[in-house]
Structure 1
Amino acid sequence: MTDTQTWQEAAGSDLTLNVGDRKAMFVRGEGAYLWDDADRRYLDFLAGIAVDALGHAHPAFVEAISAQAATLAHVSNYFATPPQLALAATLKRLAGTGPAGRVYFGNSGAEANEAAFKLARLHGGTERPRILALKDAFHGRTMGTLALTGKPYMQEPFLPMTPGVEFLDSTVEALEAALDDRVAALFVEPIKGEAGVVDLPEGYLEAARELTERHGALLIIDEIQTGAGRTGAWFAFQHAGITPDAITVAKGIGGGFPIGALVTFGTASDLFYPGTHGSTFGGNALGTAVAGAVLAEIERAGLVDNAADRGRQLREAIAAIDSPLIAGTRGRGLLIGVALQHPVAGAVTAAAQQHGLIVNAANDDTVRLAPPLNIGDVEIDEFVALFTAALHTVADALVLDATEETPA
């Protein structure tokens, strides 16, 4: 970059236009904090969209990368490596698959869901052509996972989609009406993150398990944003006390390293056979070593319980904020949606950044919080102060706008 070329100009001219203007240039991080190119510090309550489970530059993450990179990084899936097998065993244990479980490794959540889509097709064959998903759900942006994503505005530029997917309202009644013996699989997010951190109705997962079993369909749960302890359980489906046929995981399991996985239960574990799917980089020694270290640290430090406890603390603190903009909170553990009275989430996230806080607008009237799982009192107190200041900035602007629009 030349002296006269700013990073904004470089991003605008050198990167593809699928993402809007970058909001900052971050150059380093430590714990729950980021620093930009002007050495200004920010409290990071987005954590790379629920990715940086241990925060930034955690010693367990750094040491795992360094040690494994100095030993063995990649050999292809023609061969096994110790960290690959160790991570598969860990995921099976944490998910509770039992001995019949199996793990497929990819490089992202979208790749995990692509594998799950194929799993559903293998199960369905020609006799079960229907796949069900929920309206306003998000499962990825590849052509396969976009077909599962119940957001028409995302699909429209890329039509036609892969056929066979039908979208339902998120109600037990809609599920009862749709499920029959021609359904191969039902895909669900336990909490619809990109829809605004929207919880499923009480009892939905239990009903989904009973109905899919009755009709011989797979229940596939997308735990990409909710897994790795974020909701106060290792995986959100465990709050419901059910056993799915498969889950997809990514984001927090790698703590910042790109990795995803499909974890299968029971007879679904036998559907793939040699040649039906693959990934050059998926499950390589470097990625699986890092993910194994991240999950080990979450377990060692009790961060699943911390997510549950700090989530309750954070929601209580938000409820106590004196602001006319806050309508309430949704979500579980440390995946929280702050519902707003007005469609000003974009303005709130921009004001938060100005005050030194990183959050995200999940939609027009929801601010999403997904901080590192190891936050404590200090970070929560600082969040409350910064978020309150951001809310006041936006509320004051709304009052000013209303005053200017009122005739004298």
Structure 2
Amino acid sequence: MLTQRQIFLQHIAQTSDFPLALEIEQAEGIYLYGTNGRKYIDLISGIGVSNVGHRHPNVVNAIKDQVDKYMHLMVYGEYVQTPQVALAAALVESLVPSADLETSVQKPLDNVYFTNSGTEAVEGAMKLAKRFTGRQEIISCFNAYHGATQGALSLSGSENFKRNFRPLLPQITQIRHGNFEDISLISEKTAAVIIEVIAGEAGVRVPDKNYFRALRKQCDLTGTLLIIDEIQTGFGRTGTFWAFEQFGFYPDVLLCAKGMGGGMPIGAFIANQTVMSVFKDNPILGHITTFGGHPVSCAASLATFKTIFSENLLEAVEEKAKLFRDLLIHPKIKEIRNQGLMMAVEFEDFGELKPIIDDAIEQGVITDWFLFCDNSMRIAPPLVISKEEIRFACEVILRAIDQKKG
């Protein structure tokens, strides 16, 4: 009889030669529980997903309540479904622009298109920008990551990830994230700029506070849509509900996913009704999805949304981030970059970092590295993590560093 691990390795498609292969039978809060009785602190939230922790009671109850009513009914946008309507209304309310934000010539974001994932949100936004502007060029950033499908991969900032899948989409131009000089490359030929507020897979790179104001002005000048990818940063990760709030500007299109679902698969791209309406004709049904906006996922997302505010999770983000920074002091740590609880702890190289990650996991703390910055440790715990749990996790990481030879 094959073991679970053997079946996993033989029949689950593998994407690397060294999967973590942890066998987890339960998860709750910040903890994962293995079949071997081991308990792990999930210091990466399943890669930015479990912002309110694993199996938060509010999310679980919302899922159960919705399952008792209905699940899939019809392809996206045809039936009025309460979970979709309530979630869309909450998201729109969170996006009312304040007076201090640099807004565009477009109207405020008030129209939500639900998808199954962040990658699908990216794909939908790309189509939307081309259809609305009638242009073909899209600008993204070097060392950016927006997903792995053909269109989203075309935006990726790493040739190493794209090389063996070419040809990809034409007319993709790349600029340096946070570089003021490159803003001039945005022209009347550009349909959209798609950019992360914080460059995540590049290793948590935080731009100058004035960068996005300058980017916003250039997009307005050229009639270019500014698409902001908050797939990792949204739903409180950086200390405000949306990261763009901290940088004094307002997007034309907003992308979200990951932490949005409380553990359920969901994403969205959000624009104003005028922009989004181009999907209604020429052709009709210009963008469609079968499972996007699944009622169970929407119910879970609304519960996640409400929990972030009812439990005041945003207020403690910066204090918890500071505690990590204060505790993670070691000669081998070259730098710590963060925006809220989205953190990168830099080491000399991947050869030094990987054994530290492996040893920390052996001691019960799960961390990771970044796709385009493999010398930096990813720390992005559930927002519900306590100070005591932070102290324990940091002790384990420091111990793992000390146990690394050399």
Global fold match (TM > 0.5)? yes
CA-CA distance at 1:6 after TM superposition: 3.2
What is the alpha-carbon distance in structure 1 between the residues aligned to residue 180 and residue 235 of structure 2?
Answer: 30
Query: Which one-letter code corresponds to 2:114 in the other structure?
Result: F
Alignment correspondent of 1:80: 80
Match of 2:156 in 1: 149
Count of residue pairs the alignment pairs up: 388
Identity %: 33
Cα gap change, 1:271/1:345 in structure 2, threshold over 3 Å: closer, same or farther? farther
Match of 2:124 in 1: 115
Contact conserved, 1:306 with 1:374, CA < 8 A, in 2? no
Q: CA 1:87–1:314 in structure 2 vs 1: closer, same or farther (change >3 Å)?
A: same
| Residue in 2 that maps onto 1:381 | 391
Over 3 Å counting, the alpha-carbon distance change for 1:342 and 1:22 in structure 2 is closer
Matched, 1:15 2:25: no
Distance in 2 of aligned mates of 1:196 and 1:132: 20
Aligned AA (2:213): E
* Contact 2:228 2:251 (C-alpha < 8 Å) held by counterparts: yes
Cα distance change, pair 34–178 in 1 and its aligned pair in 2 (3 A) = same
Contact 2:43/2:367 (CA < 8 Å) preserved in 1? yes
Aligned residue for 1:92? 92
Classify 1:220/1:100 alpha carbon distance in 2 versus 1 (closer, same or farther; 3 Å). closer
2:30 corresponds to = 32
Equivalent AA in structure 2 for residue 366 of structure 1: S
Q: Contact conserved, 1:229 with 1:304, CA < 8 A, in 2?
A: yes
Residue 337 of structure 2, aligned match among 316, 325, 330: 330
Deviations 1:36-93 (A, max 9, x none): 1101011110110010111112111111111111111111222121110000011111
Match of 2:187, SS state, is coil
Q: Match of 1:309, as an amino acid?
A: E
1:21 deviation in Å?
3.5
1:103–1:264 Cα contact (<8 Å) kept: yes
Whole-angstrom distance in 2 between the partners of 1:194 and 1:20 = 20
With over 3 angstroms needed to count, the CA separation of the structure-2 counterparts of 1:311 and 1:58, relative to structure 1, is: same
TM-score, reference length from structure 2: 0.92
Query: Is the CA contact 2:184–2:218 (under 8 Å) kept in the aligned structure 1?
Result: no
- Separation in 2 of the partners of 1:89 and 1:139? 26
The residue matched to 2:161 in structure 1 has which SS? helix
Match of 1:64 among 49, 55, 62: 62
Shift of 1:212: 0.5
Q: Does 2:267 align with 1:260?
A: yes
| Maintained 8 Å contact 2:128/2:279 | yes
Report what 1:357 is aligned to: 365
Match of 2:104 in 1: none
What is the one-letter code of the residue matched to 1:71?
K
Q: Distance in 1 between matches of 2:258 and 2:246?
A: 20
CA RMSD of aligned residues (A): 1.6
CA 1:181–1:252 in 2, change beyond 3 Å: closer, same or farther?
same
TM-score normalised to structure 1 length: 0.91
Structure 1 unaligned residues grouped into runs of 5+: 399-408
**Moved beyond 4 Å, runs of 4+:** 97-100
Cα distance, 1:131–1:174 mapped onto 2, change above 3 Å:
farther
